[in-house]
Amino acid sequence: MTDTSIRAFTYELLRKYGMTTMFGNPGSNELPFLKNFPSDFRYILGLQEGVVMGMADGYALASGQPTLVNLHAAAGTGNAMGALTNAYYSQSPLVVTAGQQARNLMGVEAMLTNVDAAQLPLPLVKWSFEPAEASDVPRAMSQAIHEATLPTPGPTYLSIPYSDWDEETDANMDHLLQRTVEVGAGPHPDQLKDWADVLAQADNPLLVLGPEVDAQRANSDAVELANALGAPVWVAPSESRCPFPTNHPAFRGVLPISIREIHEHLEGHDVILVAGAPVFRYHKNLPGDYLPAGARVLHITGDPRQAARAPFGEALVTSVKQGLAGLVDALNLSGRALPEPVPQTELSPDPPGAMHPENLFHLLNRLAPDNVSYVKEATATKEAFWSQIHMTQPNSYFFPAAGGLGFGLPAAVGVQLAMPERRVVAAIGDGSANYGITALWSAAQYQVPVIFVILKNGTYGALRGFASLLGAEDSPGLDVPDLDFCAIAKGYGVEAGAAHNAETFEYLFQQAMAQNNRPFLIEVSTTF
């Protein structure tokens, strides 16, 4: 007998969009959706909802496809909110579902009722909804998928009463399986021609690239533009992806995170093209002038909110990939001389019993395969990482877009699940690792061969930097001593080893690379 329930129809709808991998931590409200779970779907269990959201975020970012997240009512949603912040700022196409109490018990606020459910995740989702009746659940799910994936991508949220799943589907819902939604017009040629002329006539143009470039696989278009202009290239501040090959001679690194420091880096450039990033995402409060005198900023973004809130520049809201490719075509330049590459950072010898982060990343760059993908959450070692690591392909780097800790370990699991043909290395600080530590269990249970590299220095390094900036060095809670990540990893079923020098790290990394279907953790003692 054919199953005509809302549950069966919803699984068919998910199949249509390739959403057969879902991430969750179910409670009683979610079980009616999960019963009779189809054999062609896989459910990745996380032991806490922040980890669930982080794994799904990594999977959606790496795959570029909408991804279903299954949370438990209000409590599970609350646990996931920190990770949801990262997903929102990374424009991750997540469809977040939360089980609601049965409809006949919602009015009396029975246990596990999600009160005012649609309000709970705002403003961290593009769209939030609880269907007024069971028959609207399939249409609402279809809308959630399209809202999550249409420009600008981002998470959506659906609260679904568990009593709805066994109800019969309305015959009108069959149209949902046939419909399509496509995005139309790109940038107008005249708009790009005007900007191309400005760039061609610039004395000292500069490119600043952001995560949309990598998300839209426009990295090669950015290289063509840099080559044609002979322009240096910076990654926009608060980097969450790598939009440009770091071994290209035009690459300069990542812009700093304050108004004053960015002004200093832009000095001397008359035309600055910012593509796929806000202008700009600051962090440190060091006031100053936004731009050098006479500098002109051209801003290409697919996000109308970024264009609207920017305090300077001329913005064009369009596909970043089409915009960059169109500028290359319109420039009609034979190519200018590229700037001289940045000299390599000189490395210092390691002290006994620990490694300098620069030396660790230099060694990691030598040992890792060419198509490695890095998930990074060791915030105090940003400069060391970008100075030593060569990343040449799209999807080579992921970092928490909102700065919320707990992204790294679970996101690495999700990225590896989405890209089994590439090896994922997660470089995680000892402070941030504990926010998502249970992701190790998921990696072990689902045989996800992530190589976790924990940089252990016993302190919150980034926080210490801010303590110095703010004159708050005497603040409590800056150190995290006495952590044994090898013991923790083994408790979750992950093989592990500790390295105090380069020789031991190389041995352990080669051992980890040999594990094709199991994760491996390396705890590395590092200097501050």
At residue 478 the predicted structure's pLDDT band, cuts being 50, 70 and 90, is: low
CA atoms within 13 A on the CB side of 49: 20
Distance CA 125, CA 154 (A): 7
SS3 label, residue 160: strand
| pLDDT higher than 60, residue 493 | yes
What is the pLDDT at residue 340? 86
E strand or H helix that includes residue 40: none
Contact (CB, 8 A) for 105 and 112: no
What is the pLDDT at residue 299? 98
SS3 label, residue 122: coil
At residue 463 the predicted structure's pLDDT band, cuts being 50, 70 and 90, is: low
E strand or H helix that includes residue 425: strand 424-429
Please list, in sequence order, all residues whose beta carbon lies within 8 angstroms of the beta carbon of residue 53, skipping any fewer than 6 positions away.
23, 69, 71, 80, 83, 84, 87, 94, 96, 410
Interval 454-480 mean pLDDT? 70
Distance CA 315, CA 164 (A): 45
Interval 256-261 mean pLDDT? 95
pTM metric for this prediction: 0.95
Range with lowest mean pLDDT among 223-237, 378-392, 478-492: 478-492
Give the whole-number percent of the chain exceeding pLDDT 90: 86
Instruction: Please state which CATH class domain 6-177 belongs to.
Output: alpha beta
Interval 229-243 mean pLDDT? 96
Query: Which tens digit of pLDDT belongs to each residue from 123-162?
Result: 999 999 999 999 999 999 999 999 999 999 999 999 999 9
Alpha carbon 198 to its chain's center: 33
Contact (CB, 8 A) for 518 and 444: yes
Contact (CB, 8 A) for 365 and 386: no
Q: How far is CA 183 from CA 93, 95, 151, 324, in A?
A: 15, 19, 8, 18
CATH topology assigned to domain 189-331: Rossmann fold (3.40.50)
Range(s) within the chain of domains with CATH label 3.40.50.970: 6-177, 357-525
Q: How open is the CA angle 266-268-272, to the nearest 5 degrees? A: 50
Distance CA 79, CA 16 (A): 30
Beta strands in 224-322 (DSSP E): 233-235, 251-254, 271-275, 296-301, 314-317
For helices 49-63 and 73-89, angle between their N-to-C axes, nearest 10 degrees: 40
Length, in residues, of the chain: 528
Please list, in sequence order, all residues whose beta carbon lies within 8 angstroms of the beta carbon of residue 458, skipping any fewer than 6 positions away.
430, 479, 480, 481, 483
Q: What is the mean pLDDT of the chain?
A: 94
Please list, in sequence order, all residues whose beta carbon lies within 8 angstroms of the beta carbon of residue 257, skipping any fewer than 6 positions away.
237, 238, 281, 282, 283, 284
Q: How far is CA 362 from CA 61, 250, 344, 390, in A?
A: 26, 20, 11, 9
Contact (CB, 8 A) for 268 and 204: yes
Please list, in sequence order, all residues whose beta carbon lies within 8 angstroms of the beta carbon of residue 243, skipping any fewer than 6 positions away.
209, 210, 211, 212, 213, 214, 218, 219, 222, 235, 276
Range with lowest mean pLDDT among 102-111, 226-235, 334-343, 349-358: 334-343
Tokens of 308: 């609207």
| pLDDT higher than 70, residue 464 | no
Beta strands in 178-305 (DSSP E): 205-209, 233-235, 251-254, 271-275, 296-301
Range(s) within the chain of domains with CATH label 3.40.50.1220: 189-331
Query: Which tens digit of pLDDT belongs to each residue from 315-355?
Result: 999 999 999 999 999 997 766 888 888 888 789 999 999 99
**Of 291, 268, 144, 248, which Cα lies nearest the Cα of 202?**
268
Query: Which tens digit of pLDDT belongs to each residue from 46-66?
Result: 999 999 999 999 999 999 999
Query: Which tens digit of pLDDT belongs to each residue from 1-37?
Result: 589 999 999 999 999 999 999 999 999 999 999 999 9
Partner residues linked to 127 by β-bridges: 156
**Of 195, 260, 259, 267, which Cα lies nearest the Cα of 232?**
267
What is the pLDDT at residue 395? 98
Contact (CB, 8 A) for 275 and 328: no
Bond into 180 cis (ω within 30): no
Give the whole-number percent of the chain exceeding pLDDT 70: 96
CB atoms within 10 A of CB 486: 17
Phi, psi of 319 (to 5 degrees): -65, 125
- CA Rg, the chain, in Å? 24
Please list, in sequence order, all residues whose beta carbon lies within 8 angstroms of the beta carbon of residue 147, skipping any fewer than 6 positions away.
126, 127, 156
Expressed in angstroms, the distance from the first to the final Cα of the chain is 65
Question: What would you measure as the largest C-alpha separation in the chain, in angstroms?
Answer: 74
At residue 462 the predicted structure's pLDDT band, cuts being 50, 70 and 90, is: low
E strand or H helix that includes residue 521: strand 520-525
Contact (CB, 8 A) for 378 and 402: no
Query: Which tens digit of pLDDT belongs to each residue from 399-435?
Result: 999 988 999 999 999 999 999 999 999 999 998 999 9
What is the pLDDT at residue 335? 67
CATH topology assigned to domain 357-525: Rossmann fold (3.40.50)
Distance CA 77, CA 49 (A): 7
CA atoms within 13 A on the CB side of 466: 14
Interval 480-505 mean pLDDT? 95
CB atoms within 10 A of CB 99: 26
Alpha carbon 291 to its chain's center: 28
Distance CA 515, CA 378 (A): 24
Active-site residue list: 27-28, 30, 49, 72, 283, 403
Which residue is listed with tokens 């940045």? Answer: 342
Q: How open is the CA angle 124-127-129, to the nearest 5 degrees? A: 115
